[in-house]
Chain A
Amino acid sequence: MNAELLVLIAMMALFAIAVFIGKYPIGISLALASIAGALLSGFGVPFRHLVEGSISYLDPILIIVTAMIFMEIIKETGALGETSRLIVRYFHAYPFLFLTAITFFIMIPGMLTGLSTASVLTTGAVVAPALIAYGIPKVKTGSIIAMAALYGMIAPPINVPAMIIGGGVDMPFIGFELPLLFATVPLALFTTYFIARPHVSRGVRSEVLEKISALTQDIHRARLFLPVLVLVLLMSLSRLIPNDLTSLGLPLIFVISSLAAFRSGRDFNYWKVAQSAIKKAMPVMGILVGIGMFIQILSLSGVRGFLIVNIVQIPSYWIYVAIAVSLPLFGAISSYGASYVLGVPFLLALLGRNEIIVASAITLIASLGDMMPPTALAGIFSAQVVDEPNYFRILKVCIPYIVITAFYGVMMIIGANWFAKYLIV
């Protein structure tokens, strides 16, 4: 048997044993599988490679932990509840408008940062109580948030996977706006409506308003929203006027916004809230560290080359199946990683079709990785936002929409040159 295939099987087997039999956390299991892969490939225990890989996701880890602290703080001050109350109050009589507004609202942070978790942990957390109060079950609420966050991450103006792919083929991030809107907005609205539709009936609306009003009656609204305003302002400034002063970086923006929450609403203890937020984010941070090691050892051992060469050289129309399956599956490790490792070879294998449309579609499909276990960043955080202990219940609701999204992406690739006539200006 091929040596690289053996190493891959051994790594996957050890990972499964560590998770399911050893009951180790996923991050630790990934680290153990990485060490096994390195040993089997004749590299011993390559501490340098393990540490180098583990640090790959330092920036997303900082974003996740600071965003988590921010979300916990605005939950404590009452800002989350009050936002939900306002959304319900103004839109409750118009379900179509209500769901449209909520979908775009969830997507905005992802559109600005290129991170699905930014959407889930900020606007996703804000609208969760409103959706639940509107009568949508919490599992479906989590599903709506997770899927809208994925589409937000891909929608313009910022699509980091497209930039990563562009970096691999020297294609500047220009002309992507329309293709990315086409790739995301119809799917986002379709997904929200179809998940929410059975639960949006006229009877419950006045009760909803009463129920949610009771949450936040005693709070001064202007002060309450100060941290959210600071967040929006700093995020927008870094996009509109990018320079040293305004480009603070998301972690610092979340920290400043969290500090702006001081005495803005109900009292809270910064230390305790931060501790609780870090505790919640710890498993995902551990997974990202483990994944960095895992990918490093896949590359070092030659397993990455073996996988890519065998996936990309699949003949003819099977390449579309390979794209629809391998990108989300690899995205389970990291959707950025999938774009980096597989997205570039797929784009090059499909040269002749409009590259912008193909890259947009590839990123749409790669984003589905954020719903795939074990990392499932969008799915796991959405479960936390709606207090659902079992993330797989959210995944189950999303599966039809994940399949539709992959199909939609593949159709965009097949018809790339036709779509380009209308979408590339």
Chain B
Amino acid sequence: MSFLKKHLTRLLILASALSVSAFVGIDFLSMHVPDPIYPNPCQKLQLSDYFKPLAGTAGDTDVYIFEGDQAGATVLILGGTHANEPAGHIAAVSLMENIEVDAGRLIILPRANNSGFTHNDPQEGNPQRFMIKTRRGERWFRYGSRYTNSIDQWPDPDVYEHQPSGQHLSGSETRNLNRSYPGSPDGNLTEKIGYAIMQLLKQEHVDLAFDLHEASLEYPVINAVVAHQLAFDLAAEVVMTLQMEDILFNLEPSPVDFHGLSHREWGDALGIPVILMESANPLQGRYHGKVTPDIIVTGKDKYNLQAAKSGLIEVNYPADGIPLNLRVARHLSGLATTFDIWNSSHQDDQIIVKNIPSYSEMITNGLGVYLK
């Protein structure tokens, strides 16, 4: 009794802390439930099929292979390298739920860094999920983090030294998949994911590869196509073709001395032409106002607009915002145009993909029409 009396306040504080922990813990754990994907007929593998030690870890992820009746080129598309860049993930999902491949093979990883989908970046106040209206009703998707979950890879070093280049980046970048390539079989989880993707590229003899991203509005490389030198001519033609359709992309060469990125290391190590595409995510960056899941979908935000009027951001930001369907449409039109141009110069090694939603269709009909 006297013990209770003496420690009552402490016990109450401890009990409150435990209750909050349990309540919040359940909320955090709910992020581990994957948002459903309903792909068209295809073969489903795991990334660990290309690198066994990844099996059973948070880094393992679904790999979907769409194979045409005719032989042709093998193309890899990565969505969800950064789980807080939803246009990349949703573009991959909308492809998977609509396409049919006639020639060649299309390999899609909609959640390249699966662990990144299971948490949010601290201090950003981001939502855990957002909703898209489809013909069947509302469908939910996770809004995750740029990084591998600290639960799966911790602690960060003070400084991340990229291997083998020796390049130094801040410690948290050790959990950034798009700084991890070529990866390492003995490295941390993110480096193992990077290594497994390199193995996939190698074992599947990929001819052309894409990595779909978004960027903050103040970031100079935005609404852009970043191309390894092996893909630069192809990317230049894509940008010019899209320009004629009033879909504007900036063309950026992959920096030769910036290591760990897909568009640098995949090309250097495997001789594959690589293209990375960036759209503009109004919830990334530092200028946006109050955080709601709606900003992700509508792309509307008053402080982004104010920043745009003051010339602080790098894209044209209209009062109607930059909605998700527009950002996804940009990615899909970039992919479709690249396939067309590739096919015109690779008659014996084509990639023919039917039913990719066109730019104008997606803008007119909305994104939900192309999601099951």
Contact = CB atoms under 8 A, between A and B. Distances in A.
A249 B290 CA distance: 36
A196 B185 CA distance: 54
Contacts of A341: 286
Contacts of B258: 170, 172
Nearest to B23: A47
Interface in B241-296: 257-259, 286-291
Contacts of A168: 219
B38 interface: no
Interface range on chain A (Cβ under 8 Å from partner): 35 or more
Contacts of A174: 167-168, 257
A172 B169 CA distance: 6
A239 B171 CA distance: 13
B204 interface: no
A308 B290 contact: no
Given A51-B24, A53-B123, A167-B172, A312 B312 contact: yes
A174 to B, nearest CB: 7
B303 A302 contact: yes
B167 A160 contact: no
B161 interface: yes
Contacts of A337: 123
B122 A55 contact: yes
Contact of B287 (A160, A173, A308): A308
B319 interface: no
Contact of B303 (A41, A62, A250, A309): A309
A309 B309 CA distance: 11
Contacts of A41: 290
Contact of A299 (B124, B156, B219): B124
B20 interface: yes
B318 interface: no
Contacts of A295: 123
A303 to B, nearest CB: 9
Nearest to A313: B310
A158 B290 CA distance: 35
With most chain B CB atoms within 10 A of its CB, the pick from A59, A301, A309 is: A309
Interface range on chain B (Cβ under 8 Å from partner): 35 or more
A163 B169 contact: yes
B123 A160 contact: no
A239 B303 CA distance: 42
B125 A299 contact: yes
B257 to A, nearest CB: 8
Contact of B169 (A167, A313, A344): A167
B149 to A, nearest CB: 12
Contacts of B304: 305
B157 interface: yes
A59 B156 CA distance: 8
A43 to B, nearest CB: 9
Interface in A325-358: 337, 340-341, 344-345, 348-349, 351
B221 interface: yes
A88 interface: no
Given A47-B23, A296-B122, A309-B312, A173 B218 contact: no
A242 interface: yes
Contacts of B27: 47-48
Interface in B104-158: 120, 122-125, 128, 155-158
B159 interface: yes
Describe A's contact surface by its main secondary structure: helix
Given A59-B155, A59-B156, A309 B291 contact: no
A292 B289 CA distance: 19
A302 B291 contact: yes
Describe B's contact surface by its main secondary structure: loop
Contacts of B53: none
B173 interface: yes
A247 B23 CA distance: 35
A6 to B, nearest CB: 13
Given A47-B24, A301-B290, A52 B122 contact: yes
Nearest to B161: A242
A309 B158 contact: no
A309 B123 contact: no
Contacts of B303: 302, 305-306, 309
Given A163-B170, A349-B312, A300 B290 contact: yes
A280 interface: no
A100 interface: no
A297 B125 contact: yes
Contacts of B301: 305
Interface string A288-300: 0000100111011
Nearest to B260: A172
A370 interface: no
A313 B141 CA distance: 35
B122 A173 contact: no
Contacts of A340: 123
Interface in B302-348: 303-304, 306-307, 310, 312
Contacts of A173: 159, 167-170
With most chain A CB atoms within 10 A of its CB, the pick from B221, B290, B307 is: B290
A29 interface: no
B290 to A, nearest CB: 3
A141 interface: no
Nearest to B125: A300
A170 B221 contact: yes
Contacts of A242: 157, 159, 161
A56 interface: yes
6 contacts: A163-B170, A164-B170, A167-B173, A249-B155, A344-B218, A349-B312
Given A48-B28, A52-B120, 11 more contacts: A47-B20, A114-B159, A163-B171, A166-B170, A167-B172, A168-B219, A174-B167, A174-B168, A174-B257, A250-B158, A306-B303
Interface of B: 20-21, 23-24, 27-28, 120, 122-125, 128, 155-159, 161, 167-173, 186, 218-221, 257-259, 286-291, 301, 303-304, 306-307, 310, 312
